[in-house]
Amino acid sequence: MSSRKQLILIRHAKSDWADSSLKDFDRPLNVRGMKDAPFMADWLKEAVGSVDAFYSSPAKRAQQTAKIFIEALVPPTSYTVDKLYDADIEDVINVITSIPPTIRRAVLVAHNPGLTQAAEYLTATTLHNIPTSGVVVLDLIVDEWSDAGRGTATVSVIGKPKEIME
């Protein structure tokens, strides 16, 4: 029997809105984001151990978040996926279903609302909102990523910075 898949969805850490001349794509992490992301990366390492691959939006705040998590989890491969920026649910699901079958545990670093909507679609439940630096670990009841669809996942664990840091 093939091993099942595990998907870790991470919403980018809190971004800085101070410079109104910056395009949305170019906004960096703010002070809170730089504090929350390493904390959540360490929490995730304790929760899951290692991962096989990282897929991240090309937006600056997502790239900075991914780098922090990558340093904690040390995955063998990481990819920037253009369609994860400003992604809707369909884009996120398309990225997930195109993950190579050799990958058992994959991480996506992206944005709302597409990230939360994809989690809700895969689990057929209401999660309301993945907060900034939030992590949702899903156990997929499929042998191939291409089979991921509505209701094919269960929530293993949810990490929200405000709840965990208390």
All domains in the chain, ordered by first residue: 5-164 (3.40.50.1240)
At 72, the amino acid letter reads A
Terminal-residue alpha carbon distance, the chain: 41
Residue 2 has pLDDT above 50, yes or no: no
Average pLDDT score over the chain: 95
Residue 118 has pLDDT above 50, yes or no: yes
Instruction: Give the pLDDT score at 25.
Output: 98
Residue 157 has pLDDT above 70, yes or no: yes
| pTM of the entire predicted model | 0.96
Residue 112 has pLDDT above 70, yes or no: yes
C-alpha closest to that of 54 among 130, 105, 19: 105
Confidence tier at 3 by pLDDT (50, 70, 90): low
Angle, helices 60-73 vs 31-48, to 10°: value is 40
Instruction: Give the pLDDT score at 166.
Output: 76
